[in-house]
Chain A
Amino acid sequence: MLSNIALYGAIETGLIYGLVAFGIYLSFRVLDFPDLTVDGSFPLGAAVAAVLIIEGWNPWLATGCAVIAGMAAGAVTALLNVKLKILNLLASILTMIALYSVNLRIMGRPNVALLTEETVLTPWYDLDLAYHQVPVLLFVIVVFIALILLWRFMKSETGLAMRATGANARMARAQGIATGAMIVLGVAVSNGLVGLAGALFAQSQGAADVTMGVGVIVIGLASLIGGEAVVTPSSVLRALIACVVGAIIYRLAIAFALNADFLGLQAQDLNLITAVLVTLAIVLPGVRSSIAGKLSRSKA
């Protein structure tokens, strides 16, 4: 039903969105900060990486700059909230809108092609692997490293302070934690991860486009919520694994839906399918527990 290439393609994109889901886990779950900046920081990362690669930079260095650009965007959102007291959701929308212009300025045009350039993937094609397997291998490594680093960070003194900030800010302050600084750091790291995802996405797809960020937040949330439904996030490690699992399941579900001819779905239906999947992911755990509740009541 699903060709090999489509399967690997889904996993490849799923791994990239796993990074986005890490970022969204950090803002939405850890800090309780609904951050829509990601719709802007994803194409920002792509734009920065693409432009620098075309300028002849080392692709890894260009990707590193994309991460820093993403972090700066996140820091702007957080500072709007912490220093200027703008509602967090609104602050992130302001940054997102601003980034649309910034991204056009960086690229100088709506899109930049990378098809003939040397990217982070180029050296890996020398390996004895099928063409569509190469990005999956590289991205598995990148996601694994990101996961381990994030996990260790969450377990560190600063990471624990960040978790306390999101869970109980008053208590965190009473413990001497500068909650404002934690929010800035957390939202910056979150968008740094999304910038990384954008940079890798541009390099694997062969282009950066100013519109490529539309709906990233929804896809990331879908991955996060879906993953949490499958892998119970009872610890930080499990929550991070849930992000990756959710992102890959989401992309596979999309690939199956688009490939199942009897459904009659086409590529332009993607956003509709996403919205339906997110709704299901949010509603289903509640339905499941209410059914479980009814069953246990009837037994008693």
Chain B
Amino acid sequence: MISATDLRLTFGKGTPLENPALKGMSLTVNQGEFVTVIGSNGAGKSTFLNALAGEVLVDSGQIIVDNLDVTKLPTHKRAGRVARVFQDPLAGTCEGLTIEENLALAIKRGQRRGLTSAVKRQYMEKFKDSLSSLNLGLEKRLGDKMGLLSGGQRQAVSLLMASLTPSSILLLDEHTAALDPKTAAFVLELTTKIIEEQKLTALMVTHSMKQALEVGSRTVMLHQGQVVFDIEGKDREGLEVKDLLGLFEKQRGLEVDDDSLLLG
């Protein structure tokens, strides 16, 4: 279980560019929940995810991951509990390293690294098994450099890497946004499959309201650094994009003016 309580964060404090990104954000995600997060540009989606991952430290508030207060811990000290897939398909993997080396990095996520050989023979079966589940033929290309793979393939491998070792929460940061529609659909399908099979707790930020309603068990909308609504179960079933927009306007008395949010 993870819980974020009253997170506040302002970028560029005391400068003319002062920008409050999180203004009292609170959210609790229970074990096994798959939460989709939507919100217009500048709503604080990415900042919230970065705060959970440790890439930015919040000014105030508290983040607890499985009974451990991680609020002040840097990224690498949280990595054992928090797995992550980035928006940029190139960001989640090292292109200069081989596929097996990337997987070997991920299999030790959050653990001590010693001086024994990184790519161990006993990993091979696990690597091949998980790669063959992608149906991309990558299990035969373990020694190939990551840079030889397409963006979609790399994102699929990033997803595997994030789920190779257990985590308290999997953070997905618009991880299909940079892919073409067909590849995006493939990666999204893979995401739901992995999350279901491994019963992962996941938080997926998306730019598309449609996607947010199609997958997951709960949807949260952020606006101006706060949660504006949070729906799950019966309330969420059969909901459509226009219903979401209606909800949003009712909650805030605002017009949604972000085209990408409407069209996505």
Interface residues, chain A, CB within 8 Å of chain B?
Answer: 153, 155-161, 163-164, 167-168, 170-179
B108-167 residues with Cβ-Cβ distance < 8 A to A are 108-111, 113-119, 161
Any chain A CB within 8 A of the CB of B8? no
Given the known inter-chain contacts A171-B92, A175-B109, A176-B79, please indicate yes or no for A164 contacting B115, CB distance below 8 A: no
Chain A residues, CB < 8 A from B114? 156-158
Interface residues, chain B, CB within 8 Å of chain A?
Answer: 53-55, 74-77, 79-80, 83-84, 86, 91-97, 101, 104-106, 108-111, 113-119, 161
- Complex Cα distance A181/B86, Å? 24
Chain B residues, CB < 8 A from A160? 97, 101, 104-105, 113, 118-119
Judged by DSSP, the binding face of B is loop
The 4 closest A-B pairs by CB, nearest first: A176-B79, A157-B113, A176-B110, A160-B118
B115 touches A153 (CB 8 A): yes
A158 touches B115 (CB 8 A): yes
B79 touches A155 (CB 8 A): no
B117 touches A156 (CB 8 A): yes
Chain A residues, CB < 8 A from B110? 175-176
B93 touches A161 (CB 8 A): no
- Complex Cα distance A269/B119, Å? 48
B61 CB to nearest A CB, Å:
21
20 A-B pairs (CB sep. < 8 Å): A155-B119, A157-B108, A157-B113, A157-B117, A157-B118, A158-B114, A160-B118, A163-B101, A164-B105, A167-B95, A170-B86, A171-B86, A171-B93, A173-B55, A174-B86, A175-B110, A176-B76, A177-B76, A177-B79, A178-B76
Chain B residues, CB < 8 A from A172? 76, 105
Chain A residues, CB < 8 A from B106? 175
A157 touches B115 (CB 8 A): yes
Given the known inter-chain contacts A161-B105, A171-B91, A174-B53, please indicate yes or no for A156 contacting B76, CB distance below 8 A: no
Given the known inter-chain contacts A155-B117, A157-B108, A175-B105, please indicate yes or no for A163 contacting B94, CB distance below 8 A: yes
- Who on chain B is nearest to A234 by CB? B145
A163 touches B97 (CB 8 A): yes
B115 touches A168 (CB 8 A): no
Chain B residues, CB < 8 A from A179? 76
- Complex Cα distance A161/B53, Å? 19
- Complex Cα distance A175/B105, Å? 7
- Complex Cα distance A160/B146, Å? 14
- Who on chain B is nearest to A170 by CB? B91
Chain B residues, CB < 8 A from A170? 55, 86, 91
